[in-house]
Amino acid sequence: MTAPIGYHAVVRVDTDEGISGWGEAPAGISWGGPHGRYCGESPKTVRHVIAGHLIEAIKGLDPRDIAVIHRTMDRTVKGNPYAKAALDMACYDIAGKAADVPVYRLLGGAFRDRIEVAHSLGIMPVEKCVDEAVMAVEEGAKTLKCKTGLDPQRDVQVVRKLRERLGSDIRIRVDGNEGYRTVWEAIDVTRRQEEYGILLCEQPLMDNRQLAQVAERIDCPVMADESAWTVHDILELHALKAAACFSCYVTKPGGLYRARQQADIAGALGMYSDIGGSIESGIGNAANLHLGAASEIAILPSVSPVSKPEGAAGPSVAGVYYLDDLITEPFRFEDGCVLVPDGPGLGIEVDTDKLKKYAAP
């Protein structure tokens, strides 16, 4: 993925009763599904699709009628799930505020009030990666997610160094982001990483049939991310025995409504998930946290940011990816977990001055 993080589309939907809802689309133009199944979106395409098509289509509908809104959006525009997800978030935010309940209540209630943070370590020199991991662990992180897939030798070395430095109590996930050249390379690297103890292997290759070949030949679970956008993807992954779990988040399927459907189907098939994302601001992160609270199968440590405005209390490394945020109050971080906002709607207040400050030209 070459699109920069932090360049996102933000939407506000206003109602005739004076209630406004917020949504976010962390769209990346180079991000999509296997074999061109899902095309990349960008903040500019999201703006075009919403302003030029979707907002007019749903104007006059009740934001609480979320199934009707999704049917209308799908009949109006094919694909473009990130654009639809931004509007879906805003509608749920409005509905929650109108009913004076958190969004997770609208999704069926909370199985948990917090999500364990897996601190994400990007592609960087091994020693720098280890140093960042140590700081994250010192602040309370208990799980690390290591980006891999570009250099097999480095991918094994970084897991070994992390394990040597941090001991056996810290969980390590690896994420190849479809980077390995062949099934056999993915198998070889993962087996060598398994010698040092890894929690799971995320999306080492693009193709689902290739994932199934890897899953059959390694010991740790395979997680699907780029391969798991829709309910139909979940059914295919299960049929091929390609993944034991998947990364469930709001934007890939097109919103909270569709993500909840994904989670329910996956649960019925015996699969489980984390709560993924694309390093959203506090707006999109809040939506993902509500999804995680309401999804029974969301049991894995997740790359859920500890969103906080500049200068606010909280960790400086663990779960922190931006120097500032669009929300006015920080998310709480306790015992390695980020707490789900419990106010009405998404449970956040957006700093509109920050929106103006950070708006792209």
Tokens standing for residue 163: 């394990």
Q: How confident is the model at residue 2 (pLDDT cuts 50, 70, 90)?
A: low
In 198-207, which positions are buried (b, 16+ CB within 10 angstroms) versus exposed (e)? Answer: bbbbbbbbbe
Confidence of residue 76 (pLDDT cuts 50, 70, 90): very high
pLDDT tier at 4 (50, 70, 90 boundaries)? Answer: low
Dump pLDDT digits (tens) for 118-143: 999 999 999 999 999 999 999 999 99
- pLDDT-derived band at 31 (thresholds 50, 70, 90) equals confident
- For residues 271-290, average pLDDT: 96
For position 361, what pLDDT does the model report? 80
| pLDDT tens readout for residues 166-197 | 999 999 999 999 999 999 999 999 999 999 99
Looking at residue 306, its pLDDT comes to 97
324 Cβ contact partners less than 8 Å away, ≥ 6 residues apart: 309, 310, 354, 358
Does residue 1 surpass a pLDDT of 70? no
Give the pLDDT score at 154: 97
Summarised one tens digit per residue, pLDDT across range 213-230 is 999 999 999 999 999 999
The top-level CATH class assigned to 106-339 is alpha beta
Per-residue pLDDT, 36: 81
Would you state the structure tokens that stand for residue 69, as one six-digit string? 């809104």
pLDDT at 263 over 70: yes
Predicted local confidence at residue 75, as pLDDT: 98
The 3-state DSSP composition of the chain as helix, strand, coil percent (nearest 5) reads 40, 15, 45
Residue 16 has pLDDT above 70, yes or no: yes
98-115 tens-digit pLDDT: 999 999 999 999 999 999
Give 3's pLDDT tier (boundaries 50, 70, 90): low
Q: Indicate if the pLDDT at residue 200 is higher than 90.
A: yes
Question: What ranges do the domains of the chain cover?
Answer: 9-100, 106-339
- pTM value is 0.96
CATH of domain 9-100: 3.30.390.10
* pLDDT for res 236: 97
E-only strand ranges, the chain = 9-14, 20-25, 114-116, 118-121, 143-147, 171-175, 200-202, 222-224, 245-248, 272-275, 333-334, 337-339
pLDDT of residue 292: 98
| 3-class secondary structure per residue, 305-354 | CCCCCCCCCCCCCCCCCCCCCCECCCCCEECCEEECCCCCECCCCECHHH
d(C-alpha 86, C-alpha 21), whole Å:
10
Structure tokens at 260: 């909840």
Question: Phi/psi at 120 (nearest 5 deg)?
Answer: -90, 130
β-pairing, 222-224 with 114-116?
unpaired
Instruction: Residue 99: count other Cβ atoms within 10 Å of its Cβ.
Output: 13
Average pLDDT over residues 320-337: 97
Phi first, then psi: give them for residue 125, nearest 5 degrees: -55, 145
Mean pLDDT of 15-44: 91
Q: What is the mean pLDDT of the chain?
A: 96
